[in-house]
A and B are shown apart, each in its own frame.
Chain A
Amino acid sequence: MMKSLLSATCLATVLLTAAPMLASAQAEVVYNRGNDTDPTTLDHHKTSTIAEANLMRDLYEGLVAPSAKAEVIPGVAESWEISEDGLTYTFKLRNDAKWSNGDPVTAGDFVFAYQRIQDPATAAPYANMLYPIVNAEAINKGEKQASDLGAKALDDHTLEIKLNAPTPYFLQLLTHQSSFPLHQKSVEQFGNEFTKPGNMVTNGAYMLEAFTPNDKIVMRKNPNFHDAANVKIDVVNYIPFEERATCLRRFEAGEVLSCSDIDNAQMDYMKEKLGDQLHIAPYLGSYYLPVKVNKEKLSDPRVRQALSMAIDRDFLANEIWRESMLPGYSIVPPGIDNYPDPVFLPYKDMDILDREDEAKKLLEEAGVKEGSLTVELRHNTGENHKNTMTAIADMLKNIGVNATIVEMEGTGYFDYMKNDGDFDLTRAGWIGDYSDPQNFLFLFESANLGFNYPRWSNADYDKLMAEAATTTDLAARAKILRQAEELFLKEVPAIPILYYSSTALVSPKLKGWEDNIMNQHATRWLSVEN
């Protein structure tokens, strides 16, 4: 008690003496920024959520960085060379890259970070993002030493990375927070405490000032950032809003300048009241219904295709999701990089009534009599998931298929799916980590037990995916991946129904917000106008 009283007095004194100084300086530009939720941690090796990615993008800069439009632009690396075979990347680091404490950012900081994320003791959930690097996987499994990693500092400003296979999306991958550097000295000095305000040293446009859980994370402009001259916002307050309606109210009251997500239930209100402050943009994500293919009643692809045909995606997107989702006819969302000629379910543009007739025919061919098939639709708790399943149950009735609905609470649901729990049809969603079709198609490789809920196993599909992994020519690779998706859409072990879109509220005072498919909006590109 005594101690806190004392520190309160000290603080008051500091504030009193500091106040006149602040007043004389130019007013700070402060940006109150809504975020989905608080981070699990600020140790970027242990992060995985989108809310965390937003924070990390401001705190750190990787070898490459996303532009305001989420295109890959030089970051700490000012240039790079890729060897002919696509296996060796040599990055030239800029001389003026500095940490927030003034230390230079060196190739060694990247090597240290890349070794640490693979260390089994770090237990990094996204260690596998960097598995394309030579020996990364073996180190993460504890089979090899950290020093065996295929990332070497040739000198302070030259970093060489060797890959197992040509990985055309490697640069995209380097914009992900798992590939950001770490300030070796402070991490070693403070151990688990290195993310505390005061201890944390970062190399991005911002540095950590304070973190009050459930309240806000305060970041201040990093004066040592190489592009600091063009960073216009002085302080960013990241405010977590698990309740999206709360963010809307504070946005309307002018207390926050942007919300990272919206409450779909209030879509009509927002459309009417907020006009173009409401941003809805295509997003790198798919929403689909995995089907238990090894169950006898669902083992015939014709039956699965019939179920898929009967689902009116336009209704789901427009009526249930109030246009916060887009109708989906493929597993790889459109607009993705390295995929010039996307493939869709053949009945994408067919009228729903014709599709129902077609579906009935397919069921008949497969020997399923009208009313004889009952499927269970399983979903995790969520108002929109529930409504989606209810609507689908109604749609299936139109082709003579009965459906029951089972709801499960979130955490238990994912555990159940991962452990091959019993279901007929269930729901799942996937947001891409990098803009490449491989990041969606790998979900259904037969060896991918964590994500392949249907436990679909197709040798041809696996072969195509393996072939794509070793093909350097981007055009040829895109063709192979397209074949794989074509095969997937013919078999429909999971029925694609929607594409995600990103939704945000952006105040007219906030300038520089560019909608993009990655939904990445680093604060360094934004400015506030009054």
Chain B
Amino acid sequence: MLTYVLRRLLGAVPTMFVIVTIAFFMIRLAPGGPFDLERPLDPLIMQNLERAYNFDKPLWQQYFIYLGNLAQGDLGPSFTRRDFSVVDLFRVGLPVSIQIGSLSMLIALVFGTLLGALAALRQNSWVDYMVVGTATFGITIPTFVIAPLLSLLFGVLMGWLPAGGWGTWKHMILPVVTLSLPQIAVVARLTRGATIEALRSNHVRTARAYGLPTRIVVGVHALRAAMLPVVSYLGPAAASLLTGSVVVETIFGIPGIGRYFVQGALGRDYTLVMGTVVVIALFVIVFNLIVDILYAWLDPRVRYD
């Protein structure tokens, strides 16, 4: 198992290299640069700026400078937020995104599996229809609708919770709810389907035949098998949740890193975009690895050695 993990981690290096290279040249293909504002700069001043940030060098040289710095963990200065390096920005923003993301993840996992299992056990009853109906509804309504609605309802009209901003635990409630609602829905649907299937499988039937109590049959044997599709969904979902949501962060005014991808891309903040790409890619790689490890644990048939 350990050799497997090590092999996967080593394999991530060339993957990252390819991602970084493609992203580096793709962002440069976009017209304009970080200093093209609505009010154009004096050509002379533009030259001064380009010199200060190495933009006057050929692109391949800039690429190698970037790679060299990246290898030392330096993601470079941000062009649109010049008082901060990209690493500075992530140091402030990433913990915020991770807090909100992991809470939403946890809630989605707990409520999603509970509801899904419940629906599967009471298949074709009103409980089942309620869960499936609500879940479908939850998936179809986008966060950019839910977020302002929740903020308007609980922040402005009722005044129970802050309408936006960041600071106390109260500020986390609405964004976490917004983020977890669609995830609960997806997890519930996946769990329901997989549990129904697992309940009909041989090993569950065997467990029943042995006369094990339903609690054990469902809770241990059926659910464990039913978790497989949920886990494979949650891996990439966790990577995207933990790296922040542009919509939720913008609407609630949360200082996470989700907004940097869009702000960076629109402002042609090359280093910030690259930094976000690197962070997201790392998260995806790591979570895919975790999913694969969990697979081996959940399904005894899977072996990596």
Chain A residues packing against B (C-beta within 8 Å):
38-43, 46, 48, 120-125, 127-128, 140-141, 195-196, 211-215, 239-243, 245-246, 249-250, 252-255, 409-418, 429-430, 449-451
Contact of A253 among B32, B51, B159 (CB under 8 A): B159
Are the C-beta atoms of B163 and A252 separated by less than 8 Å? yes
Any A CB within 8 A of the CB of B65: no
Question: Could you list 27 A-B pairs, sorted by A, with CB under 8 Å?
Answer: A39-B83, A43-B83, A48-B39, A121-B48, A121-B52, A123-B48, A123-B51, A127-B42, A195-B83, A212-B255, A213-B92, A214-B249, A214-B254, A214-B259, A240-B253, A246-B253, A249-B152, A249-B163, A249-B164, A253-B155, A255-B155, A255-B163, A410-B38, A411-B30, A412-B32, A414-B37, A430-B39
Contact of B250 among A141, A195, A246, A255 (CB under 8 A): A246
Known contacts A120-B48, A242-B250, A410-B266; 19 further A-B pairs (Cβ under 8 A): A124-B45, A125-B35, A125-B45, A141-B44, A213-B89, A214-B256, A239-B253, A249-B151, A249-B152, A250-B162, A253-B155, A409-B266, A411-B267, A412-B32, A412-B36, A415-B31, A415-B32, A430-B39, A450-B43
Return B51 CB to nearest CB of chain A, in Å. 8
Are the C-beta atoms of B162 and A128 separated by less than 8 Å? no
What residues on B are CB-neighbors of A416 within 8 Å? 31-32
Contact of B165 among A39, A40, A250 (CB under 8 A): A250
Any A CB within 8 A of the CB of B59: no
Are the C-beta atoms of B82 and A40 separated by less than 8 Å? yes
Q: Decide yes or no: A411 and B165 within 8 Å by CB, A246-B252, A249-B148, A252-B156 being known contacts.
A: no
Q: Decide yes or no: A255 and B36 within 8 Å by CB, A243-B251, A249-B156 being known contacts.
A: no
Tell me the complex Cα distance, A186–B148, Å.
44
Any A CB within 8 A of the CB of B81: yes
Q: Decide yes or no: A214 and B255 within 8 Å by CB, A250-B165, A253-B162, A450-B43 being known contacts.
A: yes
Return A45 CB to nearest CB of chain B, in Å. 11
Contact of B81 among A121, A213, A418, A450 (CB under 8 A): A213
What residues on B are CB-neighbors of A240 within 8 Å? 253
Tell me the complex Cα distance, A363–B196, Å.
75
Return A382 CB to nearest CB of chain B, in Å. 11
Return B79 CB to nearest CB of chain A, in Å. 8
Q: Decide yes or no: A450 and B44 within 8 Å by CB, A246-B252, A249-B155, A411-B267 being known contacts.
A: no
8 closest A-B pairs by beta carbon, nearest first, are A412-B31, A215-B255, A411-B32, A415-B32, A123-B48, A253-B163, A214-B255, A450-B40
Any A CB within 8 A of the CB of B62: no
What residues on A are CB-neighbors of B49 within 8 Å? 123, 125
Contact code string B200-214 (vs A, CB < 8 Å = 1, else 0): 000000000000000
What residues on B are CB-neighbors of A48 within 8 Å? 37, 39
Tell me the complex Cα distance, A418–B45, Å.
14
Chain B residue at minimum C-beta to C-beta distance from A119: B48
Tell me the complex Cα distance, A140–B43, Å.
12
What residues on B are CB-neighbors of A242 within 8 Å? 250, 263
Chain B residue at minimum C-beta to C-beta distance from A253: B163
Q: Decide yes or no: A245 and B48 within 8 Å by CB, A411-B36, A412-B32 being known contacts.
A: no
**Which of B151, B162, B251, B253 is most buried by chain A, counting CB atoms within 10 A of its CB?**
B253
Are the C-beta atoms of A414 and B93 separated by less than 8 Å? no
Any A CB within 8 A of the CB of B138: no
Are the C-beta atoms of A214 and B93 separated by less than 8 Å? yes
Are the C-beta atoms of B38 and A250 separated by less than 8 Å? no
What residues on B are CB-neighbors of A122 within 8 Å? 48
Contact of B36 among A215, A241, A418 (CB under 8 A): A418
What residues on B are CB-neighbors of A412 within 8 Å? 30-32, 36
Tell me the complex Cα distance, A282–B44, Å.
33
